[in-house]
Amino acid sequence: MNHLLQSQLQSYASSGLYPLHMPGHKRRVVPAPGLPAGWDMTEVPGVDDLHDADGILADAMARTAALWGAKRTWYLVNGSTCGILAAIRAAVVSSGRTAVICARNCHKSVYHAIELNRLTAHWLVPPVDPAFGIYGSITPAMVADALRACPDTAAVILTSPTYEGVLSDLAAIAALCHAANVPLIVDEAHGAHYLPLAAAHGWQGGAIAAGADVITLGNHTFGKVQVANFLEENPYMLRPANFTGRAPGRGWAVYDCGRVQVGVLNLIGRCNLDFNAENPFTTADRILKNADKPTFVLVDFHAQATSEKLAMRYYLDGRVSALWGTHTHVPTADAGVCEKGTGYITDLGMTGPARSVLGIRPEQSVEFFLGGLPGRYQTAEGPCRLQGALFTLDSSTGLCVGVERIEVS
């Protein structure tokens, strides 16, 4: 059977038919032993169709998505060029904007997209590394300045790793773009070369890993009742697990991230938060006892009282990988690893306008506390900042080895 397939592929490759979706230079490569790089299989009758895969190619794309931690993966039929062209076109059409922020050392297909779509480009020129004479990284500060100078941009477009192997801080850049409601397009065509050596070279998994994989909620979960159906349908959004059993959605889930499985538990406190919630401590016991043991267990404890969060710290120490508190919006100075190996911080802080009272216009908040009538909250304007914590976890133990509080302005 293998011999028959090989003979058919050889016959097709020598037929003179030209596959327009396969770059010509790829066909001129001499096949390595066991790697028929010069053969095009996507139009051979009886072979899985790349344009509508439902067999071996569909399985391969699913495995690739799991490897990269992506929700979905598509193989591009004529190289990364078509992916870049399609991504930029989609960003322009969906936003209606005609300006983009681009790294000057992007692939030429970015320039083609700018010309084809008649866009205005705001260029980011990375500094030259004096030791090697090559372009360095695009920094978060450069992107922040560009977003302020060009607030109506359709997308930010970067290459990381670059063709010389230079990385940019995609996590920080993604946070800036998301805060500005601007999509981030990353050409990561050379990222696969890094994958086997990722940890040794400081690469944290690329663009997909820089985004949010799971959203946890708190006391405002049902501020809009329309969220109920969404909670039932979306496995990546969790509400507190100790809400009444009649509440829609879920508060615990395990996510397959390829090389590791991550369990996420969302809890809400009961001190000064009147939501008729069940006991968060016994809820954690029940879930952790009955759940299959994933590589890591992360807990978001949305609670008002510092004492309740600290009590949970000691209660779950050694049983979960990381535990952090949310709700009070102000970062605490107690980030660290507990005695039995759980990473902990009492409160992560807030992501939102820097000049604000919990995201609200300061003037409105001051007026309220002076005795003014309550009104609809008005979101503060101006530069934003992202606060949080970085937990370094050990997959061999499932515990934490380091916690670092972060703030990106």
For residue 223 the two structure tokens come to 């501020």
Alpha helices in 14-164 (DSSP H): 24-27, 56-68, 80-95, 108-116, 140-149
Residue 154: which residues within 8 A CB-CB, separation 6 or more? Answer: 88, 91, 92, 95, 97, 98, 99, 100, 119, 182, 183
Residue 299: which residues within 8 A CB-CB, separation 6 or more? Answer: 264, 265, 266, 267, 284, 312, 316, 320, 322, 323, 324
Q: Which of 322, 349, 348 is nearest to 337 (CA)?
A: 322
Residue 147: which residues within 8 A CB-CB, separation 6 or more? Answer: 101, 153, 156, 176, 177, 180, 182
156 touches 182 (CB < 8 A): yes
253 touches 263 (CB < 8 A): yes
Coil/strand/helix, residue 144: helix
User: Is 201 considered catalytic here?
Assistant: no
Please pick, among 112, 220, 302, 329, the residue that the annotation labels catalytic.
220
Coil/strand/helix, residue 86: helix
- Cis bond upstream, residue 161 (ω within 30): yes
Amino acid present at 79: G
Residue 44: which residues within 8 A CB-CB, separation 6 or more? Answer: 8, 9, 12
Catalytic residues, by residue number, are 220
